Amino acid sequence: MSKNFYITTPIYYPSGKPHMGHAYSSIIADIFARFKRIEGFNVLFLTGTDEHGQKIQKEAKRNNKEPKVFCDELSENFRSLTKILNLSNDDFIRTTEKRHYKSVNEIWKRLVQSGDIYLDKYCGWYSISDEAFYDQDEVEDKNGVKVSKSSGSNVEWVEEESYFFKLSAWSKKLLDHYEKNTDFILPRSRKKEVIKFVERGLRDLSISRTSFSWGIPVPNDNKHIIYVWLDALTNYISALNFPDTSNKKFRDYWPADVHIIGKDILRFHAIYWPAFLLAAKLPLPKRVFGHGWILSDEKKMSKSLGNILDPIEIIEKYGIDQLRYYLIKEVSLGNDGSISMSNLKNCINNDLANNYGNLCQRVFSFIKKNCNNKIPKRKNLIKSDLNLLDNLKRNLPKLIKLINEQSLNEYIKMVVNFSFEANKYFNDSEPWNLKKNNPERMNSIIFTISEQIKNISILLNPIIPLSTNKVLETMNISSRDLLIKNISNQDIFDHDIELKEIDILFKKIEDDN
Ligand code: MSP
């Protein structure tokens, strides 16, 4: 089995400020990337910005800037967001980079060679905000304005010469692919929507525009600009040095293991992208996972409703691990989910401060007071100790399976449950009553609970990397040992070294905060 793993986020339009939706796609992808790394895979995790098209050109103009200058400034916001969110991305691609131009040019040439491109005239609806073409039946009238039924954004009538991609010719191949590769589109509910759409019959897709100039010109016909989605989707292979398909990066990482995207851009990733790749004679990604939308107090976040939750403000106030944990715990990954400040506070207090944080802190201060600040050796474990440890180890294959299916919510529930169990074990075992009369038993309990804190910290590490790293460092576990396989190891502690100092892991949030 290949030990390489390639995961991507959507590349973001840099025209506005990064918001919770962007943070959500990126955090999800980061969690999987981190997990696969500690599972022992060579991971490539890609994110970046999508900088061409009419929407960006319009925004640049509104700001009185040249599009490239505008993008240089705004793309930086997204690059710094990767740091703020503590993403472990290996690369950050911009569609204005040379490596990307090369790759898009080659894709275009391949589509021409395969006979999938022809010149015609496009007459139909276009949404600049979605950078998407819509059929008549996908558009409705709202207070005299034409809008897209699915996204609600304004559409305008476009009539211009355009190159077309023979998408209609690929319907059957796509349907076969969905059938043979049952997990190509996840979650399953989303897959059904896509199949229905393709079964209705696909129309050829307009893949160039002439009414603006900000983009990659069509090779040999410079008045046409390549449609921004054909341009953007290609980023996933530009980062692997395509068109050089024999280079190591491309050989190691293509096809991608999973594209993490939001449900609103599923059609582009599950229909257009595989059709382009089939026509270009390139392998298809193994999976496209479409997550749901984050709602604020049950409503879509919007400026006019004033319910936008700014990820950066929340991080500054409560911390990045807190936001990462909350988004993953509270929102069911495939569905839309509501978030609110009051839920965020409850989640931080109950799960992080009172449960995992409290467990670590109580155990560490007990060790300091009663065990010379060193973790005792594994010795004379009894049934209740072994039960606690074995239960987690027995469930390890299941946890790995959950991650491989992108079932993050179930994964986190199981891990939090181990933490509740560990707290209960510590309370029930009452090591504080054993110091005088049975120090050996006390030591066995402290070894067991320390071992379990290490295991839980490894499992939580992809979700809350900063805090779990602190815990593991306190226990003198080196970053080299932060591996899933060390959960089944017997005893990797150094018993001769004292625990390091640790400050409070998660501050409890009071009501007026
Ligand atoms: N540039 C395209 C993607 C090209 S990928 C080849 C794009 N960019 S975007 O900036 O508009 O959105 C990027 C991601 O943010 C999408 O996955 C989208 O679903 C996600 N979100 C935007 N708002 C969201 C929420 N409120 N909730 C969750 N995610 C949503 O589309």
Residue pair 183/268 in contact by the 8 Å Cβ criterion: no
> pLDDT grade, residue 428 (50/70/90)?
very high
> How many residues in the chain?
513
CATH T-level fold of 4-291: Rossmann fold (3.40.50)
**Which range has the worst mean pLDDT, 1-10, 83-92, 428-437, 492-501?**
1-10
Looking at residue 296, its pLDDT comes to: 80
How many whole angstroms from 130 Cα to the centroid of ligand 1?
A: 10
Residue pair 445/434 in contact by the 8 Å Cβ criterion: yes
How many whole angstroms from 23 Cα to the centroid of ligand 1?
A: 9
Provide the strand spans (E) within 166-296: 185-186, 205-206, 208-209, 217-218, 221-226, 258-262, 288-291, 294-296
Task: Answer left, alpha or beta for residue 403, where phi above 0 means left and psi between -120 and 50 means alpha.
Answer: alpha
Residue 160 C-alpha from the chain's centroid:
37
Q: Which residue has the higher pLDDT, 189 or 106?
A: 106
Question: How many angstroms separate the Cα of 44 from the Cα of each of 48, 205, 278?
Answer: 13, 31, 23
Task: Answer left, alpha or beta for residue 62, where phi above 0 means left and psi between -120 and 50 means alpha.
Answer: alpha
Looking at residue 395, its pLDDT comes to: 97
Angle at 186 between CA 184 and CA 190, to 5 degrees: 110
Residue pair 179/162 in contact by the 8 Å Cβ criterion: no
pLDDT per residue over 306-316, tens digit each?
777 889 999 99
Contacts for 54 with CB less than 8 Å, ≥ 6 apart: 128, 131, 209, 211, 212, 214, 228
Mean pLDDT of 203-218: 96
d(CA 449, CA 175): 51
> pLDDT grade, residue 151 (50/70/90)?
confident
Looking at residue 342, its pLDDT comes to: 86
Mean pLDDT of 200-226: 96
Mean pLDDT of 200-213: 94
The protein residue whose alpha carbon is closest to atom 22 in ligand 1 is 21
Residue in 101, 107, 104, 106 with CA at minimum distance from that of residue 279? 107
Residue with tokens 């390890």: 396
pLDDT per residue over 391-408, tens digit each?
999 999 999 999 999 999
Mean pLDDT of 258-284: 97
How many whole angstroms from 210 Cα to the centroid of ligand 1?
A: 26
pTM, two decimal places: 0.96
Ligand 1 atom closest to Cα of residue 263: 19
How many whole angstroms from 294 Cα to the centroid of ligand 1?
A: 11
Ligand 1 atom closest to Cα of residue 260: 17
> pLDDT grade, residue 272 (50/70/90)?
very high
Looking at residue 163, its pLDDT comes to: 98
How many whole angstroms from 125 Cα to the centroid of ligand 1?
A: 21
Name the β-bridge partners of 259. 8, 288
Helix, strand or coil, per DSSP, at residue 485: helix
CA dihedral 331→335→339→344, nearest 10 degrees, is 0
Ligand 1 atom closest to Cα of residue 16: 10
Looking at residue 512, its pLDDT comes to: 62
pLDDT per residue over 79-137, tens digit each?
999 999 999 999 999 999 999 999 999 999 999 999 999 999 999 999 998 999 998 99
Looking at residue 232, its pLDDT comes to: 98
Long-range contact list for 406-412, CB < 8 A, 24+ apart?
A: 406/32, 406/186, 406/187, 406/258, 406/289, 406/333, 407/333, 408/28, 408/31, 408/328, 408/333, 409/328, 409/329, 409/332, 409/333, 412/328, 412/329, 412/463
Question: Which of 15, 24, 305 gets mutated to test ligand 1 (max ligand atoms within 8 A of its CB)?
Answer: 24
Residue pair 372/499 in contact by the 8 Å Cβ criterion: no
The protein residue whose alpha carbon is closest to atom 25 in ligand 1 is 21
How many whole angstroms from 26 Cα to the centroid of ligand 1?
A: 10
The protein residue whose alpha carbon is closest to atom 9 in ligand 1 is 12
Q: What is the mean pLDDT of the chain?
A: 94
Residue with tokens 């449950």: 417
Q: For residue 381, is pLDDT > 70? A: yes
Q: For residue 2, is pLDDT > 70? A: no
Q: Are strands 217-218 and 221-226 parallel, antiparallel or unpaired?
A: antiparallel
Which tokens sit at 331? Answer: 């929102």
CATH superfamily of domain region 341-488: Isoleucyl-tRNA Synthetase; Domain 1 (1.10.730.10)
Question: Which of 59, 261, 305 gets mutated to test ligand 1 (max ligand atoms within 8 A of its CB)?
Answer: 261
> pLDDT grade, residue 213 (50/70/90)?
very high
Percent of the chain residues topping a pLDDT of 90: 88
Residue with tokens 């993403």: 87
Ligand 1 atom closest to Cα of residue 261: 17
Ligand 1 atom closest to Cα of residue 292: 28
Task: Kindly list the domain boundaries of the chain, sorted by start residue.
Answer: 4-291, 341-488
308-342 burial, b at 16+ Cβ within 10 Å, e below that, comes to: ebebbebbeebbbbbbbbbbbbbbbbbeebebeee
Mean pLDDT of 410-415: 96
Pocket residues for ligand 1 (CB within 6 Å)?
10-13, 21-22, 24-25, 50, 232-233, 235, 261-262, 264-265, 293-294, 301
